[in-house]
């Protein structure tokens, strides 16, 4: 009697254990497979729908076949148009002793003297625009094209979305910050500062 009942009990337990498999297994072996399988064309919200920016304030960029927007830069520059003051060449303005007006104290801390001078970017006879290495005019709103000359990799990353700051959120049509909104072109390095926070609880815990 004991042997048959024990076999019955054992088989019950066995069946029970086999049935109770762990959780629901996903149909995909890993995350990348899942992403590839489930990708669909996703319509991001247009600028008008987003209601965050004034459409007139945005400039469309098309770089490496990627389209996105940046904010208009020209209408935020305090003393645009530059030609209101810059009627003569810069060298002349500096020596003529017109006094310390506006941005007299801009020092250039960008690369070295061999690489960069004021005229590397600014067009002497047309201060309302910038100039490329080959002398072509570049509008101030598209100043990233200047940066692109040396920092091609960063601009590529920026166009893709891996570099720089996103302003629009993930669902809205993309609005990014322009290079110069984070990197002062005359002194582009990111500055040191103190952290925003001190973790006193963690410090006492870890003692």
Partner 1 sequence: MKKHIKKWFSLDLNDKKKKDDQCGCSGGGCNSGPKETKDGYNQVFDVNMNRRQAFKKLTAGLLIGAGAANASCSVTGDDASKEKSEIEWEEYFKGNYKLMSDEERDNTVDRLVRSYELRTGSKVNLSSKDAEPDVLFGYAFNISKCQGYMDCVNACVEENNQDRDSQMQYIRIHEMNDGKGLNFGEADDTYYHEVPAAGHFYMGTQCFHCDNPPCIEVCPVEATWREKDGLVVIDYDWCIGCRYCMAACPYDGRRFNWDTPEVPEVEVNKNQHYLGNRLRKKGVMEKCTFCIQRTRNGKNPACVEACPTGSRIFGNLLDPESEIRWVLENKKVFRLKEDLGTEPKFWYFMD
Partner 2 sequence: MKVFKKLVKDSIIHMTYGRRSYHIWMAVLTVLMLVGMFCYSLQLEHGLSVTGMNDRVSWGLYISNFTFLVGVAAAAVMLVLPAYILKDIDFKQAVLIGEGLAVAALFMCLAFVVADMGGPARLWHIIPFIGVFNFPNSMLTWDVLVLNGYLFINLSIPFYILYQRYQGKTPNPKIYIPGVFISVFWAVAIHLVTAFLYQGLQARPFWNNALLGPRFLASAFAAGPSLIIIALAIIRKFTDFKIEDKTIKKIALVVTVAAQINLIMLISELFKEFYAPTHHSESAYYLFFGLHGKARLVPWIWTAITMNVTATIILTFHKLRNNLNILYFACALLFIGIWIEKGFGLIVPGFIPGPWGKIVEYFPTLTEIGVTIGIWAMGAFIFSILARTGIAIELGEIKFKK
What is the rounded distance in angstroms from the CA atom of residue 71 to the CA atom of residue 60?
A: 9
Which of the listed partners (partner 2, partner 1, none) does 117 bind, with a CB threshold of 5 to 8 Å by partner kind?
none
Q: By rule CB under 8 A, what string of x and - marks binding of each residue 14-33 to partner 2?
A: ------xxxx----------
What's the min distance (Å) between Cβ of 29 and partner 1?
Answer: 7
Which of the listed partners (partner 1, partner 2, none) does 9 bind, with a CB threshold of 5 to 8 Å by partner kind?
partner 2
Tokens 């410090």, residue?
203
What is the rounded distance in angstroms from the CA atom of residue 181 to the CA atom of residue 73?
A: 9
User: Does the footprint of partner 2 cover residue 9 (CB under 8 A)?
Assistant: yes
Secondary structure (DSSP) of 121-168: HB-TT-TTSEE-TTS-EE-GGGTHHHHHHH-HHHHHHHHHTSSS-B-S
What is the rounded distance in angstroms from the CA atom of residue 131 to the CA atom of residue 119?
A: 8
Q: Which of 4, 17, 38, 107 binds partner 1 (CB under 8 A)?
A: 38
- Ramachandran assignment for 108, one of left (phi > 0), alpha (psi -120 to 50 degrees), beta (any other): beta
Query: Are the C-beta atoms of residues 172 and 47 closer than 8 Å to each other?
Result: yes
Query: Contacts with partner 1 in 154-173 (CB under 8 A)?
Result: 154, 157, 160-166, 169-172
Q: Which of 6, 8, 34, 187 binds partner 1 (CB under 8 A)?
A: 34
What is the rounded distance in angstroms from the CA atom of residue 109 to the CA atom of residue 106?
A: 9
Q: Which of 6, 14, 28, 139 binds partner 1 (CB under 8 A)?
A: 28
- Which uninterrupted H or E stretch holds 19? helix 2-19
Q: Which is nearer to partner 2, 5 or 115 (CB)?
A: 5
Query: Are the C-beta atoms of residues 47 and 55 closer than 8 Å to each other?
Result: yes
What's the min distance (Å) between Cβ of 10 and partner 1?
Answer: 19
Q: Which is nearer to partner 1, 1 or 190 (CB)?
A: 190
Q: Which residues bind partner 2 (CB under 8 A)?
A: 2, 5-6, 9, 13, 20-23, 205-206
Q: Which residues bind partner 1 (CB under 8 A)?
A: 19, 21-31, 33-35, 37-42, 44-45, 50, 66, 153-154, 157, 160-166, 169-172, 174, 177, 182, 190, 192-203, 206
């Amino acid at each position: 009697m004991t042997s048959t009942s024990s076999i019955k009990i054992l088989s019950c337990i066995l069946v029970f254990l086999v049935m109770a498999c762990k959780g629901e297994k996903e149909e995909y072996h890993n995350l990348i497979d899942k992403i590839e399988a489930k990708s669909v064309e996703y319509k991001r919200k247009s600028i008008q729908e987003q209601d965050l920016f004034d459409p007139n304030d945005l400039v469309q960029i098309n770089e490496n076949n990627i389209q996105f927007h940046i904010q208009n830069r020209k209408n935020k520059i305090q003393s645009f148009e530059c030609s209101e003051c810059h009627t003569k060449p810069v060298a002349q303005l500096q020596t003529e002793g017109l006094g310390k007006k506006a941005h007299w104290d801009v020092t250039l801390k960008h690369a070295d003297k061999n690489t960069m001078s004021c005229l590397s970017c600014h067009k002497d006879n047309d201060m309302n625009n910038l100039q490329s290495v080959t002398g072509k005019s570049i509008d101030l709103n598209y100043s990233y094209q200047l940066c692109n000359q040396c920092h091609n990799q960063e601009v590529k990353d920026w166009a893709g979305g891996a570099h720089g700051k996103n302003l629009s959120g993930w669902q809205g049509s993309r609005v990014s910050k322009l290079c110069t909104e984070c990197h002062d072109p005359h002194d582009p390095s990111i500055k040191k500062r103190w952290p925003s926070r001190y973790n006193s609880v963690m410090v006492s815990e870890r003692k």
